[in-house]
Amino acid sequence: MYSPVFGNQVKVQLLELKEVQLVVNKFNQIVFKFFLKGGYSQVVPMELFNLHLTGDLHAISAATNLIAAAVDTRWFHESTIKDDNKLFNLLCPVVNEKRSFLKNMFPRLKKLGIDKENPDDLTQEEKKKFSRLDIDPDTISWNRVVDCNDRLLRGIIIGKGDEEKNRTRETRYDITVASEIMAILALANDV
């Protein structure tokens, strides 16, 4: 089978395969749809294309779902912890009798216009600005993903557990190949 993306012959070996569809668009994206009856499928050479055949699709799902969980967790903690000092202490805990910012916190401090390197030097207003993202749950558009299409997961309500303190919101699952991280990967030129 000839591939305009790779400019050479791509050998696809498939046993017990019902359907294989190859789509190559102008962004050099390749999508394989395999409908298997429980056989063996392999794309050779594997270095050229190995989404899900070696776990890459699962890694994209895990990364997307990790971001979704982080956003929901941050929203949950900010909505349940009303004391700004307590939230600040969770973000910048005292370790070995010293409080310090992590390296990844400095870009946020700079964006907020806070030019201090010692967390103890922050005013109460600066601590509040730094600690709270003020996430509106109705504006969260980052969805969780799953690598198969499940109609019943297109609209779900999360946060119904007893420990979630009635912090529920409507969201959905998307298919992994339609996620933002997959789009970034598809448009990337190199690692």
Structure confidence by residue, pLDDT tens digits, 32-80: 333 333 445 555 555 555 555 556 788 889 999 999 999 999 999 999 9
Asked if residue 148 and residue 130 are part of one domain, the reply reads yes
Asked if residue 63 and residue 15 are part of one domain, the reply reads no
**Predicted local confidence at residue 102, as pLDDT:** 93
Asked if residue 92 and residue 38 are part of one domain, the reply reads no
**Predicted local confidence at residue 150, as pLDDT:** 87
Asked if residue 69 and residue 39 are part of one domain, the reply reads no
Whether pTM exceeds 0.85 = no
Contacts of 114 (CB under 8 A, 6+ apart): 122, 126, 129, 130
**Predicted local confidence at residue 4, as pLDDT:** 44
Whether residue 191 lies inside any domain: the answer is no
Q: What is the CATH number of the domain that holds 168?
A: 1.10.8.770
Of 30, 49, 68, the position where a domain reaches its end is: 49
| Mean of per-residue pLDDT scores for the chain | 78
**Predicted local confidence at residue 148, as pLDDT:** 85
Quote the domain boundaries for residue 37: 2-49
Regions of the chain where pLDDT drops below 50: 1-39
Q: Quote the distance between the C-alpha of residue 187 and its chain's center.
A: 16
- Decide if 149 contacts 175 (C-beta within 8 A): yes
CA 52/CA 20 separation, integer angstroms: 15
